[in-house]
Amino acid sequence: MSEIATVALVFLGLDFAGIALFALTGGIIAARKGLDPFGAAVIGAAAGMGGGTIRDVLLGALPVYWIAAPQYLAVALAAGVVGYYGSELVRGETGARRKALVWADAGGLAVFCVLGAQAGLDAGAHWSIALVTGVLSAAFGGVLRDVIVNDVPLIFREDVYALAALFGAAIYVAAVSLGLGESWAAPLGAVSAFALRGCAIVFKWSLPALGKLD
């Protein structure tokens, strides 16, 4: 398999994985809120495709990716429903839905920070803009999901959230700049973001507070 084909396959897999993981979180939240399966599908689609949509709009890549390739919408809708019924299976288990939500969200964040950065570089943007598109891609779907159900978005509740996305995007951009092939740089960036976000979840890492001001 050629290098170009390998890179395309890697990013296609990451794309579907990121959409599915974020859409799962939408389904989980829909179940927590007592919504129906249709609501789960809608919120799953918003969570799964929100980040990629804002990325494409900012970069002028129109029509946005899921309009040009409707299979992405199908994956998001299906994953939202799977998250809904899957979380119902553990209803009553203390913290089970919360754990599933934060870990699926961490996986989606890890994937989309790399996809956003890659899209920025491919569009010819400066590396700093690629970092911005990486963070926005990783965070916007979750923000949209939480706003729809009237929750405070995770990005505002969890300190090491956008920072993890920025870290993963920076690792990817740096690896590409140093000549590491994209098929290696992309998984490296995603794993780095997931590791940092995972450590923050497990060890309850947070940024130091400024404290109350007089």
pLDDT classification of 158: cutoffs 50, 70, 90: confident
DSSP string covering 37-51, please? HHHHHHHHHHHHHHH
For 174, counting Cβ atoms within 10 Å of its Cβ (0-12 exposed, 13-18 middle, 19+ buried), the class is middle
- Give me the mean pLDDT over the 76-93 stretch: 87
- What gap in Å lies between CA 175 and CA 102, rounded to an integer? 27
Examine residue 99 and state whether it is found in any structural domain, yes or no.
yes
Per-residue pLDDT tens over the stretch 167-207: 999 999 999 999 998 999 999 999 999 999 999 999 988 87
Examine residue 142 and state whether it is found in any structural domain, yes or no.
yes
- Contact status, residue 166 vs residue 189, Cβ threshold 8 Å: no
Helix, strand, coil content of the chain in percent (nearest 5): 80, 0, 20
Examine residue 208 and state whether it is found in any structural domain, yes or no.
no
Examine residue 84 and state whether it is found in any structural domain, yes or no.
yes
Q: Which residue has the higher pLDDT, 44 or 8?
A: 44
Count CA atoms closer than 13 A to 159's CA, side-chain side. Answer: 10
Query: Considering the chain, what percentage of its residues have pLDDT values greater than 90?
Result: 79
Question: What is the structure's pLDDT at 207?
Answer: 75
Examine residue 147 and state whether it is found in any structural domain, yes or no.
yes
pLDDT classification of 92: cutoffs 50, 70, 90: low
For the CA atoms of the chain, what is the radius of gyration? 17
Examine residue 117 and state whether it is found in any structural domain, yes or no.
yes
Examine residue 214 and state whether it is found in any structural domain, yes or no.
no
179: left (phi over 0), alpha (psi -120 to 50) or beta: left
- What gap in Å lies between CA 104 and CA 63, rounded to an integer? 28
Give the number of domains in the chain.
1
Which range of residues forms the domain containing residue 184?
Answer: 3-203
Per-residue pLDDT tens over the stretch 97-136: 889 999 999 999 999 999 999 999 999 999 999 999 999 9
- Give me the mean pLDDT over the 68-78 stretch: 95
Examine residue 213 and state whether it is found in any structural domain, yes or no.
no
